[in-house]
Amino acid sequence: MRSDSEAESGDESELNVVEDAQSKADQKEVESVCKLIDETFGMDRNMEVVLDECGLNLSHDFVVDVLERFKHAWKPAFRFFCWAAQRSGFDHDSRTYNAMMTILGKTRQFETMVSVLEEMGEKGLLTMETFIIAIRAFAAAKERKKAVGIFDLMKKYRFKIGVETINCLLDALGRKKLGKEAKALFEKLEHRFTPNLRTYSVLLNGWCRMKNLMEAGKTWNAMIDKGFKPDIVAHNTMLEGLLRGKKWSDAIKLFEVMKAKGPFPNRRSYTILIKDLCKHGKMKEAVDYLDEMLGSGCEPDGAVYTCLMTGFGNQKKMDMVYELLKEMNEKGCPPDARTYNALIKMMTNGKMPDNAVRIYKKMIQNDIQPSIHTYNMIMKSCFVTKNYDMGCAFWEEMKSKGCCPDENSYTVFIGGLIRQGRSIEACKYLEEMIQKGMRAPQLDYNKFIADFSRAGKSDIMEELAQKMKFSGKFEVANIFARWAEMMKRRVKSRDAPNS
């Protein structure tokens, strides 16, 4: 049974459902192999031959740890995964397969993902987690038919399709604002399973995320008609839905009904109200609800403090932010990664890079591992305020800590290099990200082209396109070729005599 906070965790749920057990792998060896893969992948040297020469004694923990380092770069991850499968004395298990499935799902390599899933089926290694990874991946990409198609694969491999599996799919669709699709699927499957309270709760959550309060109301009534009493999770979902739909007075009425008739508001209920008030800058009212929360016997957690600090930070009341940060520690509720990331995001949006760095340092001091999201925000903050050296320093620090750059990381970093006038260097990283299987970023191409034109290098893109073509990297070659054409048109237009 999931806890209240888990059931209402919102957008933070990831595709990764592999259990986060303590790894027994030698992390120095993991680091060494990851560095080797980085250095040899995409170069003339054969990555697999170099790995063979290392004489590694592979374990499942080791393989999972290496895959984790390349979780945003599916091509090197998959090559390593396939290399490991050929090693004498090593066989992938469900955990390593699911780790690879997660990467393929996140990077939307669906054909390969299904191929891996079927390979697992042939080897008898499929688990329920495998199917959940696939369902969530397709739902995240709004591929409803493919998500539903996973049920056919479950039948093929004789997995029981129960209410929890269907709830998982409905939840995945709802979280991606596919309420209509979730409703259609529910109606199609309703005669094949017995819905439970959670079934109606996830449908309710889907409509509330879409701000479709009419359908949310119908689902609420259907829940009651079927004999289910809406619990605290359902009430909090509706409370949040009303606030999303800007029905403040209705939300307060529901909150008062909860206090009078139950289920009594819990910490999550108060957090929902406080978050909305902070979002709209109503800090006095937010603090009043905090006092009421304390009076009701609910102790605030990191989420409540994060809302308040973000609210005061948006009003540039940094003394209050640091005071609340101090109070958290004093009350035995130390800030976690989400708190720090929320503060860094707030300071990034407010163009306060020095404060963002200060919070980052506190994060490190408290032994909390920064995520890729942390680094992306800080780099963005540095580049937006033209602190290029610091932005580049954070890129290097991110890589040194084994944090695999994602598409957003490359986009932020390449954009920063271009604004700094380092377009040739930016080309190198653009090539690197595409080699790893990432999509070309949305950049200021005009600035890119202008930099090369000013430097008298109007043919550099053509040269890069040819280089990529000869090395068999046709996708990269096509991008550079398109840019070469843009540069030619720009130069032609600039040099044309006035008519």
* The predicted structure's pLDDT at residue 450: 65
* The predicted structure's pLDDT at residue 60: 96
User: Tokens standing for 410?
Assistant: 């490359």
Residue 477 vs residue 182, higher pLDDT: 182
Cα 81 from chain centroid (whole Å): 22
User: Tokens standing for 358?
Assistant: 């200060």
Q: At 490, is the pLDDT very low, low, confident or very high (cuts 50, 70, 90)?
A: low
Residue 155 vs residue 102, higher pLDDT: 102
Give the pLDDT confidence of 426-484 residue by residue, as tens digits.
888 888 888 888 887 766 656 666 666 565 565 667 776 776 676 566 776 787 787 77
**How confident is the model over 184-207, as a mean pLDDT?**
92
Q: For residue 323, give the DSSP letter.
A: H
Backbone φ and ψ for 385, nearest 5 degrees, come out as -95, 15
Return the CATH number of the domain spanning residue range 13-157. 1.25.40.10
Q: Answer whether residue 75 shows pLDDT above 90.
A: yes
Q: Answer whether residue 342 shows pLDDT above 50.
A: yes
Q: Which amino acid is at 77?
A: A
Say if residue 230 is preceded by a cis peptide, omega within 30 of 0. no
**How confident is the model over 21-42, as a mean pLDDT?**
84
* The predicted structure's pLDDT at residue 485: 78
CB 200 within 8 A of CB 163: no
* The predicted structure's pLDDT at residue 219: 97
* The predicted structure's pLDDT at residue 148: 83
Q: For residue 10, give the DSSP letter.
A: G
Backbone φ and ψ for 152, nearest 5 degrees, come out as -65, -40
Give the pLDDT confidence of 99-146 residue by residue, as tens digits.
999 999 999 999 999 999 999 999 999 999 999 899 999 988 988 888
Residue 228 vs residue 154, higher pLDDT: 228
Distance of alpha carbon 41 from alpha carbon 80, whole angstroms: 10
Mean predicted lDDT score pLDDT of the chain: 87
- The 10 Å CB-count burial string (b at 16+, else e) for 47-78 is beebbeeeebebebbbbbbbbbbbbbbbbbbb
Contacts of 159 (CB under 8 A, 6+ apart): 126, 128, 131
Q: Answer whether residue 294 shows pLDDT above 60.
A: yes
Q: Answer whether residue 16 shows pLDDT above 90.
A: no
**How confident is the model over 207-229, as a mean pLDDT?**
97
* The predicted structure's pLDDT at residue 2: 40
* The predicted structure's pLDDT at residue 467: 67
Helices and strands (H, E) in the chain, number of each type: 28, 0
Q: At 1, is the pLDDT very low, low, confident or very high (cuts 50, 70, 90)?
A: very low
Q: At 190, is the pLDDT very low, low, confident or very high (cuts 50, 70, 90)?
A: confident
* The predicted structure's pLDDT at residue 4: 42
User: What superfamily does domain 162-258 belong to in CATH?
Assistant: Tetratricopeptide repeat domain (1.25.40.10)
Crossing angle for the helix pair 197-209 and 179-189, nearest 10 degrees?
150
Q: Computed from CA positions of residues 352, 353, 355, 359, in that sequence, does the dihedral angle turn out positive or negative?
A: positive
Q: Answer whether residue 204 shows pLDDT above 80.
A: yes
Q: Do domains 13-157 and 162-258 have the same CATH topology?
A: yes
Give the pLDDT confidence of 32-63 residue by residue, as tens digits.
899 889 888 866 568 899 999 998 889 999 99
* The predicted structure's pLDDT at residue 340: 94
Map out the domains of the chain as residue ranges.
13-157, 162-258, 414-499
* The predicted structure's pLDDT at residue 453: 59
CB 127 within 8 A of CB 93: no
User: Tokens standing for 241?
Assistant: 């839905």
3-state secondary structure of 456: coil
Q: Answer whether residue 272 shows pLDDT above 90.
A: yes
Q: Answer whether residue 307 shows pLDDT above 80.
A: yes
Distance of alpha carbon 250 from alpha carbon 244, whole angstroms: 12
* The predicted structure's pLDDT at residue 469: 72
Q: At 9, is the pLDDT very low, low, confident or very high (cuts 50, 70, 90)?
A: very low
Q: Which long-range contacts (CB under 8 A, 24 or more apart) does 186-194 make?
A: 192/161, 193/161, 193/162, 193/163, 193/166, 194/163
Using alpha carbons, select from 424, 467, 431 the residue that is nearest to residue 449: 424
Using alpha carbons, select from 274, 179, 406 the residue that is nearest to residue 414: 406
